[in-house]
Chain A
């Protein structure tokens, strides 16, 4: 049982190299710059906030999958984190719905 769990992390996925991490950081920097530019584009209307949320989700996923190694680690860690995120979203919706902000 313990053996199975210990060997699962490798999953035959190649871990990123330091160069890969620099590339990922560059991508995150570019997305952040795009977010800031977008926040000044009032003419986008409702599309602006939607794009900002999509970009934030992309940055969140990149950091979690590559920097936090969820892509390369045990699946149980991803599941635990996803449970937390679902809990956060549920809490979010319950708070806003309870106080009639939705």
Chain B
């Protein structure tokens, strides 16, 4: 307990003490585990209401699989750039770290732009949030995922600016690793959503 209080009082100790790194990483995995349950409930709700269209457009009429596949591919590749950023951090190569962090943030932003475009198209075709239980459950499941991606992009940009301003010290690599874990998690959730919400419905 005393150790923890001391560590909280000195920010640098939190990041550099190996035991604190294990604690922080464990906390992140607990968080990700709870997020699995959160998204599990959203996807289950979608499956429950997927046929309840109430006269509105159906999944088969709306979904543009080639477009969503391209978005999925972009998000998958952002996991590659994220792991390369992490690898650059391990090699203590700040230039490569910044390049790959920026690439990941750009790919994430492209995915978000694609989702915004998709939502706008669906709305034009008559699928509003309150059109039907299908519409609500679809927008909530995919929208919450998009919100997670947006948070991830902000964290990536924060890391990038910290690195550029010299505030991402050598001992603070755990920050990159934790953001990386979050980012990969967002990717694996999309793998499930892409299959269950899109591919299995057309």
Contacts and interface: CB of A to CB of B under 8 A. Distances in A.
25 contacts: A36-B66, A38-B199, A49-B200, A52-B195, A59-B76, A59-B191, A60-B188, A60-B191, A60-B192, A63-B184, A66-B83, A67-B82, A67-B187, A68-B180, A68-B185, A68-B188, A77-B26, A80-B33, A84-B32, A87-B40, A88-B41, A92-B44, A95-B45, A95-B48, A101-B47
A interface majority secondary structure: helix
Interface string B33-75: 1111101110111011000000000000000011001001100
Classify chain A: how many residues form its interface, as a range: 35 or more
Contact of B47 (A32, A55, A63, A96): A96
A59 B83 CA distance: 16
Contacts, number: 133
Given A18-B84, A52-B195, A55-B195, 20 more contacts: A5-B19, A6-B18, A6-B19, A21-B80, A22-B80, A25-B79, A25-B80, A32-B73, A36-B66, A53-B195, A60-B191, A67-B82, A67-B187, A68-B180, A73-B25, A87-B33, A87-B40, A92-B41, A92-B43, A101-B47
A36 B181 CA distance: 27
Contacts of A91: 37, 40-41, 44
Given A39-B65, A39-B199, A55-B195, A96 B73 contact: no
Interface of A: 2, 5-6, 18, 21-22, 24-25, 28-29, 32-33, 35-36, 38-40, 49, 52-53, 55-56, 59-60, 63-64, 66-68, 73-74, 76-77, 80-81, 83-85, 87-89, 91-92, 95-96, 99, 101
